[in-house]
Amino acid sequence: MKKKIGLLLLFIVIAGLAGFGAYSWNYYSQYINVDTIYPGVSIQGMDVGGLSREEADQKVEDYLTQLSEKTVTLQVGEKEKSFPLERLGLTCVNEDAVEQAEKLGREGNIIKRVLEVQAIAARGRNIPLEFSVDKDKTEKIVEKKGKSFETEKKDAQLSRKDGEFVIENEVDGIAVDFQANAEKLMEMVESADWNQQDVRLEMTYETDPAEHTAEELSAVQDKLGTFTTSYADSSEGRSINVENGASLINGTLLYPGESMSVYDKVAPFNSENGYRLAGSYENGTTVQTYGGGICQVSTTLYNAVLRAELEVTERQNHSMTVSYVELSEDAAIAGTEKDLKFKNNLDNPIYIEGKTDGSNITFTIYGKEYRNKNRSIEFVSETTSTRPPSEKTVKDSSLEQGKTEVESSGRTGYTAKLWKVIYKNGEEKERVQINSSSYMSVPKVVRVGTKKPAASKENEKSTKKNKKDTKKNSSNNNKKSKKKK
């Protein structure tokens, strides 16, 4: 009985194997023994089952073309720059992906192949593509596009138009790390996590904040000090120099602790810098120089600075007096030897406005008023001594003897002081000496004639007649003398 059962089981096994073999052969003949890629195979998610190798190659190539048209966007803050992905030199690393797809289910015996092909058809098999970009191309385009995001830091700017202040906001500096961003972009595209969609890179960068902001400048609203002088009687050249100097200083902005040199602002004194020839003091005389009259610019500004109560760090008076301000109210400019310098010793920025109208020059200093309303100041000039000009005579051979002419009337010399008088509620509380000045006296020059007067014609005739009479008398006397003998 047992023997019969064993034979039966053996028969069943042999029959099963024979049947499976027949099925496998039939399946192989219909589905395995084909030239196309087996069903269920995909490349980068694209179904290539049933395609020939050439068809699969074309499908992958079309996919790469579409992929190259994807957009890369570089972003810094709200600014963006975009370009097609192909500019990175995109390539497929595993170029044998189609060959790999074609080989699936084609290795081993018939049974193994049938089982593998059935498994692929049931569960699918995907061959991912691997991508690479050209390092050199990526670095170059990242640098080119990245430079458009970079900015130099710029402080907020303040100007004055139609009697109103206009503030231009500050700009922070931006520096892009080209190398780091190029590496980051390459990692994004070459990563297995990339979804083959458009690429957006928020670039890394460093910010260099502006030193001075619009908020800082918004404090500049109040008039701290102003002063006006007249140049109405000046020559054309001098008027141009005064107006040019005012324009060179106009718009100057000083932050707390900063200093200003008037000479540095208005120099050099030449035609290229807008100056003309005009009179200026030199060794006790007036000579024609480029920039003549610039001292009226510095003097007017000096008085505005005093009224704003800024710190004056350098000031010299003229060698001789000037007509447009009182004694000790002047501030001379003479190369680097004489300069007007002052410092913003306040807690907020100041703005200097310089204006001319063809006859007057005005400087006004704006800032944030810090002084009590019941406090006021004025400046008083005090003459401490007077030196009348001496008289100097100069011989002049072109003038006849006894005649004189005044070559120059001379100048009176002075010493003086300038006082700041401080009032509270209209009552004087304090006097502070601001400066002391000494102005040279210049001698009065008188030319004295040394030329001898010429003889008149009547005198010449009289002299000739006298000579003839003398000669005649002498001849008669000689004749008488001979007769006596």
Q: What is the pLDDT of residues 326-382, one digit of tens each?
A: 999 999 999 889 999 999 999 999 999 999 999 999 999 999 999 999 999 999 999
| 370 φ/ψ angles, rounded to the nearest 5 degrees | -120, -5
32-45: average pLDDT = 90
> For the ranges 319-328, 386-395, 400-409, which has the lowest average pLDDT?
400-409
Q: Mean pLDDT across the chain, nearest whole number?
A: 89
pLDDT of residue 479: 45
pLDDT of residue 192: 83
- pLDDT exceeds cutoff 80 at 79: yes
- Where are the domains positioned within the chain? 219-371, 372-455
Q: CA 164, 165, 166, 168: dihedral to nearest 10 degrees?
A: 180
Is 205:177 a contact under the CB 8 Å cutoff? yes
* CA dist., res. 75 & res. 145, Å (int): 10
Is 343:309 a contact under the CB 8 Å cutoff? no
- pLDDT confidence tier of residue 455, bands split at 50, 70 and 90: low
> For the ranges 72-81, 189-198, 241-250, which has the lowest average pLDDT?
189-198
- pLDDT exceeds cutoff 90 at 474: no
Give me 469's structure tokens.
């009479």
pLDDT of residue 468: 55
- pLDDT exceeds cutoff 50 at 415: yes
Does the domain formed by 372-455 have CATH 2.20.230.10?
A: yes
308-319: average pLDDT = 98
Beta strands 285-290 and 277-282 are antiparallel
- pLDDT exceeds cutoff 90 at 10: no
Instruction: Give the distance from CA 261 to its chain's centroid.
Output: 19
Residues facing 81 on adjacent strands: 74
* CA dist., res. 210 & res. 157, Å (int): 11
- pLDDT exceeds cutoff 70 at 478: no
- pLDDT exceeds cutoff 50 at 176: yes
- Answering whether pTM is above 0.85, one says no
Residues facing 336 on adjacent strands: none
Contacts of 429 (CB under 8 A, 6+ apart): 422, 423
* CA dist., res. 446 & res. 399, Å (int): 12
Q: At what angle do helices 294-308 and 236-249 cross, to 10 degrees?
A: 40
| 310 φ/ψ angles, rounded to the nearest 5 degrees | -80, 165
- pLDDT exceeds cutoff 80 at 470: no
Smallest Cα–Cα separation from 305: which of 333, 327, 330, 280?
Answer: 330
Is 326:383 a contact under the CB 8 Å cutoff? no
pLDDT of residue 31: 65
pLDDT of residue 404: 87
Is 386:254 a contact under the CB 8 Å cutoff? no
Is 400:449 a contact under the CB 8 Å cutoff? yes
> For the ranges 20-34, 353-367, 393-407, which has the lowest average pLDDT?
20-34
Is 280:234 a contact under the CB 8 Å cutoff? no
* CA dist., res. 485 & res. 481, Å (int): 7
- State the DSSP string of 143-189: HHHHHTT-B--B--EEEEETTEEEEEPPB-EEEE-HHHHHHHHHHHH
* CA dist., res. 274 & res. 276, Å (int): 7
Give the single-character DSSP code of 411. B
CB atoms within 10 A of CB 33: 11
69-85: average pLDDT = 95
- pLDDT exceeds cutoff 90 at 429: yes
In the sheet that holds 41-43, the strands lie side by side as 46-47, 41-43, 125-127
pLDDT of residue 449: 87
226-231: average pLDDT = 99
Smallest Cα–Cα separation from 173: which of 204, 201, 211, 202?
Answer: 211
Give me 46's structure tokens.
């694209």
- State the DSSP string of 85-114: GGGG--EES-TTHHHHHHHTT-SS-HHHHH
